[in-house]
Amino acid sequence: MRSNARSRALAYAGPACAGLLAIASLGGCTGQIDDGPLTTTRSAGASRFPRLSHEQWENAARDLLHLDAVPGDSAPWDPETTSGIFQNVGAELGVTGSLWEDYRDAAERVALEVAGDPDALARVLPRGVSAGDEAGFVRGFGLRAYRRPLTEAEERAYLAAFGAAAPHYPALGPFEAGVAQTIATMLQSPNFLYRVERSATDDPFAARVALDGFEIATRLSFALWNSIPDDALLAAAAAGELATEEGVRAEATRMLADPRADVALLRFHHLLLATASYSQITRENPELFPEYTPAHRTSMVGEVDAFVRDVVLERDLGIEELLTADYTFADARIAGLYDEPGPTGEAFERIDLDGETRAGILTMPGFLASNATSLETDPIHRGVFVARRIVCAELPAPPNGVPPLPADDSRARSMRERIEAHTSTGVCGSCHARTINPLGYPFERFDALGRVQVVELRTGAAIDTASSYELDGAQVEYDDAVELTTLLAASPQVHDCYARHLAEFLFAERPVRRAVIRRGGEVSLGGGGTRDVVLAIVTDELFRTRPNAPYDGPAPNAE
């Protein structure tokens, strides 16, 4: 049941917000702020207003309200699922009735919390606006919440709601009540919940439409910070400085030096490397894996995190170093799996490797163990991971009714022999023989926990890690995982793949145009670090424009 305060707020919010929603309505987006759900359809123009992900909502609320931490409201919300690796493809995110209720409850709660706390209220006042300046607050707060200036009609409606809010918030003063009403209403608006791109063209034959400065600023801030633009970026937008590649580069360079960009780049690599799957690793077999404890899962994630921080954030390198580095960062548990002298405690420290057995992220225990069974290696899943996330090979979904790999009770055959017997014929043969198996076999030198094995742990069978793969149009041969990763690190196809994943993450859409991928790939192949690839992507003309798709909403300047 709603609280009295919330009911009073909604009793007034309904008519005012309905008017605002009529102004803000977009094709494929319908709803009522007072008592109805907001829903989206995935029409051709849906990417013009992608919905914020839960993580983006949390970050945006934190930065908009100048909170010390994210509000934390989204934890029980409906889970999000999109079709790609990254969970920020807003065009694929809809709003259910229950999620709409969650948005409403969160907006009301945080509005009352901020307006009722003098320190929080002082922080949320726009720069240059003092308490009591109703128009200044509505205009300044609206600019940051909507990521663009309010229209005259929006400003009038919000000022009317501000002035009439006091009876509905008896515990607050008149100005504080208006602030609470404004925050609660704006955080429920489609203009906050969606990244709205209203720019249009009169030319029906134009392939693309130039975004305005505020739309570019919004794209840039959610790409690099996963949150709303700051005052400096909004000022650059207002001054027209984001209309050129040079202007975007200047702001993007500034933003990449901010800690929020580090968080986003770490998040990208954790998603790309699927470190969340490490939590499912189980090796509860004291005979085969006597050193394993559930704490190893946390250490495996920690290794990746420390390694990426060093390579990408500290040393400004990229995919080549990620694939070939002859060192890693280990705590006592990881060092034990490497059988290397190293740390004896919980802290992660750099340890050097011999460079002949292991190199880079694909020989780390996390990748190897998460792509294995509880007892044995799994060349198929290891190969699929490398194919899709490192090489960007197009693999169809496996056909229905494929039986699992049969157990080898005799323990007479190696894993490779069993895989080849199981996948060499029929509909599976093509993908496995040409792509999956050749990219999985080199990792047979590592057991199901990611340790080096001289012979197979369970069967004692000899191990054959040599294989070949068609890379960049030519068949290449390699004897082991290190030779494979060295070839991958020098491959234009792999650098393009890394750029493709980064572009999907930064554009928050799939697929991304080939021209952007090629531009980023060339920078990476030429020795550029991850930040250089990011700059190449966000400064491309395609980042400052959108396809000339149909738009069913109001005219761009309608009031």
Reported as a single tens digit per residue, the pLDDT across 163-195 is: 999 999 999 999 999 999 999 999 999 999 999
Q: Domain boundary at 446, 467, 489, which?
A: 489
Region 474-493: mean pLDDT is 97
Q: Are 195 and 50 in contact (CB under 8 A)?
A: yes
Q: Is the peptide bond before 404 cis (omega within 30 degrees of 0)?
A: no
Residues 6+ apart with CB under 8 A from 97: 37
Let me know if residue 404 belongs to a domain. Answer: no
Q: Take residue 42 and report the two structure tokens written for it.
A: 């995935």
The number of C-alpha atoms within 13 Å of 235 and in the hemisphere containing its C-beta is: 5
How many independent structural domains does the chain possess?
3
Same domain for 208 and 158, yes or no, is no
Same domain for 253 and 281, yes or no, is no
Q: Domain boundary at 489, 516, 544, which?
A: 489
Q: What SS3 class is residue 528?
A: coil
Q: Are 262 and 226 in contact (CB under 8 A)?
A: no
Same domain for 18 and 156, yes or no, is yes
State whether the Cα torsion 279-285-286-288 is positive or negative: negative
Same domain for 536 and 484, yes or no, is no
> What pLDDT does 224 receive?
98
Region 83-107: mean pLDDT is 91
What are the DSSP E strand ranges found in 274-367?
327-330, 349-352
Q: Domain boundary at 150, 167, 193, which?
A: 193
Same domain for 223 and 173, yes or no, is no
Same domain for 9 and 70, yes or no, is yes
Does position 89 have pLDDT exceeding 90, yes or no? no
The whole domain housing 279 covers 275-397+412-489
Q: How far apart are the first and last CA of the chain?
A: 36
> In this predicted model, what pLDDT tens digit does every residue of 271-323 receive, in sequence order?
999 999 999 999 989 999 999 999 999 999 999 999 999 999 999 999 999 99
Does position 421 have pLDDT exceeding 90, yes or no? no
Let me know if residue 425 belongs to a domain. Answer: yes
Using CA atoms of 358, 361, 364, 367 in order, give the dihedral in degrees to the nearest 10: -130
Q: Which helix (H) or strand (E) holds 546?
A: strand 545-547
Q: Are 334 and 509 in contact (CB under 8 A)?
A: no
Let me know if residue 37 belongs to a domain. Answer: yes
d(C-alpha 206, C-alpha 226), whole Å: 30
d(C-alpha 82, C-alpha 509), whole Å: 10
Same domain for 139 and 249, yes or no, is no
Same domain for 391 and 479, yes or no, is yes
Region 126-144: mean pLDDT is 96
d(C-alpha 311, C-alpha 361), whole Å: 11
Q: pLDDT band for 425, please (50, 70, 90 cuts).
A: low
Q: pLDDT band for 432, please (50, 70, 90 cuts).
A: confident
Same domain for 35 and 109, yes or no, is yes
Region 509-528: mean pLDDT is 93
Q: Take residue 150 and report the two structure tokens written for it.
A: 């309010």
What is the phi/psi pair of residue 474, to 5°? -130, 140
> What pLDDT does 429 receive?
55
Of 1-10, 163-172, 212-221, 271-280, the poorest mean pLDDT is in: 1-10
- Count Cβ atoms below 10 Å from residue 291 Cβ, excluding itself: 12
Does position 1 have pLDDT exceeding 50, yes or no? no
> What pLDDT does 405 receive?
66
Query: 72 — alpha (psi -120 to 50), left (phi > 0) or beta?
Result: left
Q: Are 467 and 487 in contact (CB under 8 A)?
A: no
Total-model pTM = 0.88
Share of the chain above pLDDT 70, in %: 86
The amino acid at residue 324 is T
Region 42-59: mean pLDDT is 75
d(C-alpha 282, C-alpha 225), whole Å: 34
Same domain for 427 and 530, yes or no, is no
Q: Take residue 463 and report the two structure tokens written for it.
A: 């191990």
Helical residues (DSSP H) of 116-196, grouped into ranges: 118-124, 134-146, 152-163, 174-186, 190-193
Let me know if residue 270 belongs to a domain. Answer: no
Let me know if residue 86 belongs to a domain. Answer: yes
Let me know if residue 21 belongs to a domain. Answer: yes
- Count Cβ atoms below 10 Å from residue 78 Cβ, excluding itself: 15
Mean pLDDT of the chain, nearest integer: 87
Q: Take residue 33 and report the two structure tokens written for it.
A: 């702020």
User: How many residues appear in the chain?
Assistant: 559
Q: pLDDT band for 554, please (50, 70, 90 cuts).
A: very low
Q: Take residue 200 and report the two structure tokens written for it.
A: 């249009």
Among residues 287, 281, 232, which one has the least CA distance to residue 255?
A: 232
Q: Take residue 362 and report the two structure tokens written for it.
A: 């694909």
Give ∠ CA 82-500-537 in degrees, rounded to 5: 110
Residues 6+ apart with CB under 8 A from 531: 256, 265, 312, 316
Burial status of residue 494 (CB atoms within 10 A of its CB: 0-12, 13-18, 19 or more)? buried
Q: What SS3 class is residue 97?
A: helix
Same domain for 253 and 381, yes or no, is no
> What pLDDT does 90 receive?
83
Q: Are 301 and 278 in contact (CB under 8 A)?
A: yes
Q: Which helix (H) or strand (E) holds 545?
A: strand 545-547
Structure letter (DSSP) for residue 150: P
Region 439-465: mean pLDDT is 94
Does position 13 have pLDDT exceeding 50, yes or no? no
Same domain for 457 and 495, yes or no, is no
Let me know if residue 106 belongs to a domain. Answer: yes
Does position 84 have pLDDT exceeding 50, yes or no? yes
d(C-alpha 515, C-alpha 494), whole Å: 16
Radius of gyration of the chain (CA): 27
Let me know if residue 128 belongs to a domain. Answer: yes
